[in-house]
Amino acid sequence: MGLMKRHSGTVERREFASEIKFLIPPDRVELIRAWARTHLEPDPNGTGADHDTYGITSLYFDTNRFDVFHGSGSFGRSKYRVRRYNGNESIFLERKTKTRIWVSKRRSLVGIDSLPLLKGASASVDWPGFWFHRRLLGRQLQPVCQISYQRTARVGTAEGHPIRMTLDRDLRASARLAHAFDDRSVGTPLLDQTWILELKYRHTLPALFKRLITELAPSPQRISKYRLAVTTLGLAAPAAASLQHRPRTERADA
């Protein structure tokens, strides 16, 4: 799988990277997927008959006060997670940081057998995950939950910039206090039969996506898989004026 071939410790910065998210009912999914397979190319890392699907499982980290969940101070700008694709034996240690004008993602590729190193008091500076381990210690972050889902992804170019569309289904979550994936856990369903559509682009919304929204998509929503999982599992309660599903166009936060 192409996702396993990337160099360890790569840093991506995308100025004005934005995305819009939608909750898609089952009866509209096939229309959107057919549209995507007509107008966009398969994801280079995709599998399946149309070369555009794969499974994702992620471990999310937070403090014992759930500062990331509540968006407290600088915790509201960065998310730390360990991501695994299609049950591979290689995993990505990821930090995704947002500012007003750009999104930066740093991630390192390591073997899944090295995941227990994250719970230690120290790690070798030669280990590609050293930087991630240091951030976890400095911010007092521990595993909180595991989220898994199936993704359909298509990519393309519009108005001189890369664009990407993803459809995520069968979202499931389970509480997780260990630095390890639990492949035995089926998890608690998060959205029943509803799918999440994400449109990612640079600068302004491209005309191609505008047509999709006009023809097939409902109103955009603010949706965070992590916040949804924590709330559904009862691990923490959102603020009284929760913005969980308020319509909004937001910066990229996949």
Say what the pLDDT of residue 100 is.
Answer: 66
Say what the pLDDT of residue 103 is.
Answer: 67
H or E element at residue 209: helix 207-215
Q: Which residue pairs, CB below 8 angstroms and at least 24 apart, start in 118-124?
A: 118/82, 118/93, 118/179, 119/179
- Which domains, ranges and CATH numbers included, belong to the chain? 2-251 (3.20.100.30)
Distance CA 116, CA 178 (A): 9
For residue 7, what pLDDT band results from cuts at 50, 70 and 90? very low
For residue 248, what pLDDT band results from cuts at 50, 70 and 90? very low
* Model pLDDT for residues 110-159, shown as the tens digit of each residue: 999 999 999 999 999 999 999 999 999 999 999 999 999 999 999 999 98
Closest by CA to 51, choosing from 66, 36, 63, is: 36
Say what the pLDDT of residue 9 is.
Answer: 55
* Model pLDDT for residues 195-225, shown as the tens digit of each residue: 999 999 987 899 999 999 998 878 888 889 9
Identify the bridge partners of residue 83 per DSSP, sorted by sequence position.
58, 92
pTM of this prediction?
0.86
Say what the pLDDT of residue 2 is.
Answer: 45
Distance CA 164, CA 17 (A): 11
